[in-house]
């Protein structure tokens, strides 16, 4: 399987406290990898290293064998998209938001990307700051996707949205992963891991505590597999 992110003895230390403590893992470069662990274990820090919002104090982060620190930041940000916990629409319309990410995007490109997040072209003229949390998060996902990243980083994107949006976002991302997008999805929701992930990367107190395949409930039809207990 193609190589994705490699973490080699990564340390992130702030004010003498280690958010990551010699974290090492080899993440395959396809499908959905859930990054799962308790609050404060270092999940967000790990994700932020992947698009260089954060740099390691020690150790190395590689993407497909190339050190992230050595990649052109513009190329990196185009290749690796990120969606945050809280939706962050820019002032303006939905199309303004999409064009902020991809200047010169055509109506057709914008309609296609909205379709992927279960919104239609009729949303293009809507005020992006007057949407519900779930709608705004889907616009933010579309805004990231319009740049056609190869990797998508999701930092608890569904923790602040309604149940309908959770379902739509989960469906959109799993379909995109099936079409070839590599996804790292931070969550502390074990049920969500079973719904969306191909594998789970466990993190505990800044250290990798395992990388294991997940049997998806939707695929197996089974409940209570139990690989992902708290």
Interacting residue ranges for ligand ATP, rule: CB under 6 A: 14, 19, 37, 39-45, 188
CB 184, CB 35: distance < 8 Å: yes
Please state the closest distance from residue 88 (CB atom) to ligand ATP, in A: 16
Q: In terms of C-beta density within 10 A (0-12 exposed, 13-18 middle, 19 or more buried), how is residue 8 classed?
A: middle
- For residue 68, count other CB atoms closer than 10 A to its CB: 20
Nearer to ligand ATP, 99 or 202 (CB): 202
Quote the tokens at residue 102: 């991809």
Angle formed by the axes of helices 133-145 and 163-178, nearest 10°: 20
Nearer to ligand ATP, 46 or 172 (CB): 46
Pick the closer one to ligand ATP by CB: 61 or 142: 61
CA 134 to chain centre: 16
Instruction: For the CB of residue 159, give the shortest distance to ligand ATP in the complex, in Å.
Output: 9
CB of 161 to ligand ATP, least distance (A): 16
Q: Decide whether 39 or 120 has the Cβ nearer to ligand ATP.
A: 39
CB of 14 to ligand ATP, least distance (A): 4
């Amino acid at each position: 399987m193609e190589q994705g992110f490699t973490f080699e003895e990564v340390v992130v230390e702030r004010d003498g406290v280690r958010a990551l403590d010699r974290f090492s893992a080899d993440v395959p470069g396809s499908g959905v990898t859930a990054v799962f662990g308790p609050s404060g274990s270092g999940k967000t820090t790990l994700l932020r290293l992947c698009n260089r919002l954060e740099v390691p104090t020690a150790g190395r982060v590689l993407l497909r064998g190339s050190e992230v620190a050595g990649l052109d930041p513009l190329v990196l940000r185009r290749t690796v998209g990120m969606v945050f916990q809280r939706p962050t629409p820019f002032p303006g319309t939905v199309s303004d938001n999409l064009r902020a990410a991809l200047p010169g995007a055509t109506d057709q490109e914008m309609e296609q990307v909205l379709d992927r997040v279960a919104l239609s072209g009729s949303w293009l003229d809507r005020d992006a700051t007057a949407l519900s949390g779930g709608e705004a998060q889907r616009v933010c996902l579309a805004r990231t996707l319009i740049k056609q990243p190869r990797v998508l980083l999701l930092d608890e994107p569904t923790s602040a949205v309604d149940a309908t949006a959770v379902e739509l976002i989960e469906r959109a991302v799993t379909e995109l992963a099936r079409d070839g997008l590599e996804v790292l999805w931070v969550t502390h929701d074990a049920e969500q891991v079973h719904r969306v992930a191909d594998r789970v990367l466990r993190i505990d107190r800044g250290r990798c505590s395992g990388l294991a395949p997940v049997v998806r409930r939707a695929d197996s039809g089974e409940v209570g597999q139990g690989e992902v207990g708290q």
